[in-house]
Structure 1
Amino acid sequence: MPSSASSSPSQAAQLIWQDIEAVRNNAPLVHNITNYVVMNVSANALLAAGASPVMAHAAEEVADFARMAGAVVINIGTLSDHWVNAMHAAMRAAKAVGTPIVLDPVGAGATAYRNETLAVLLETATPAVIRGNASEIMAVAGFAANTKGVDSQNASHDAIEAAGQLAARTGSVVCVSGEIDYVIDATGRVAELANGDEWLTRMTGTGCSASALVGAFCAVQPDAWRATISAMSLVAIAGEIAAEKVRERGQGVGSLQAAWLDALQLLTRDQLASFLRVEGYPQ
């Protein structure tokens, strides 16, 4: 599946591959305070990509893990007061030592409790990256959004303006996931990633694992915009490869997770260059 979408696909692939190798070679520790639904798959995705996950949420120890980690990932999928307190503690500790924070605002806009929690978390520390679906990003930015539980009822392109405003207001890189992934920063850089497969939306934890992987890449790549592009490219291209394989075998989404983890681990430079479809990167 050769790429023709980017004006410089070979250069983009080279930069992304450098970041993939940096994760594999350095095995960054990624501290995740995430939800019950995705703990296992997110940890396995990080391991497959070459990173080292820790999934700790006790308020008594999260600050210690945040200080030693290469990145902290905050995912609000299954909220409770003691987890929220742990999120605050981890974010404060990460801020104090300059550890990059990735915020996944799962279900933003669905309930008042989620919206209030996100507002306070954003006051606690500025994330390096905010990654979510279109409805979530629109809700965090203060736009009207349509959500069905934690699923977006908006297309990713609907959230471009909201993402740009949120990036400008917070200074964070904002990633909108969807059929096209948009990665936007406060300086106005915008990248569009067109990889992925519809079957990934039928497997729980893909988006949350993407946020965890963004954390891994932020731990080895100081440009959070570039790190997010690299992580999202890996997630999506591995998904394409995995979906193609399970369809060829006559299998369905029940087999997809294992094939996706395999592809995260085994992706080659040539596969990356062949599959990559990106616009706006590099600049």
Structure 2
Amino acid sequence: MSDEDSSLTEKRVFAGGDEATTAFVASEFGLARVAVSDDIVGEFSLEHRGETTAVASDGRRLAVGTPDDVFVGDDDGFYGTDFGAAVAVDYHDSLVASDGERVARYDGAWETVAEIDGVRAIDGDMVAATSGVHRLDGTHVGLEAVRDVSSAGTPLAGTAEGLYYLANGWMRSIDGSFTCVSSDGDRAHAATRETLYARSSGGTWTAVALPVDGSIVDIACGDGVYAVTADGVFLANVGDGWRHRSLGLSGVSGIAVV
């Protein structure tokens, strides 16, 4: 593989039309950039050739986890941070990342804030791990075998046993083996390998009919709701039903919308 193929493309990360939503999809083949206009899934391109393990955005910057480093992208391009291999990234005041055990915060240099076994995802100030839900400082706040967590609004956690929300302790909403959860505080979604669920304004969870088969691995909210399957089908819904397009990627691990 050439140096050009193994590094993130140096271009304006957030450049695009004013009316277009830009999404980034992490996969084992590379990091894809997808333009979405309303609910039309338009052009897409690879920003990085090579495995990407996680992706997140704070609206101004992009964080990309790879087996080699955590990269940060903005309008000036991408740069490495010397973190090493990462399985989870997010922004909470500053960039945070984990290699599966170490959880660290970046402010020009990395500072370890916790050691947690089996980290799978980070969202805001919460960490999903095989040992349960933790705060960024490592404090355990319940559950076990947690695959994903969402901290916005009412915290949600997806586990091998069910979908939970945090009230007076963790309360189960739906039985099942959940692989991902997502919320922006108003809209909330969760998925098993077979079914995507959406939460109504009244708090009721219902199954969503999708136009494609395939396991949803991540969901994000922006002008609409966006989702991606493990085999690289990108879906968008801004209120008029789901549109979709295959990106030709495999091993998809996450999505971030800016």
Report TM bin, short chain: 0.3 to 0.5
Q: Give the TM-score normalised by the residue count of structure 1.
A: 0.33
The higher relative CO (CA closer than 8 Å, separation ≥ 6) is in 1
Greater percentage in helix: 1
Q: Give the TM-score normalised by the residue count of structure 2.
A: 0.35
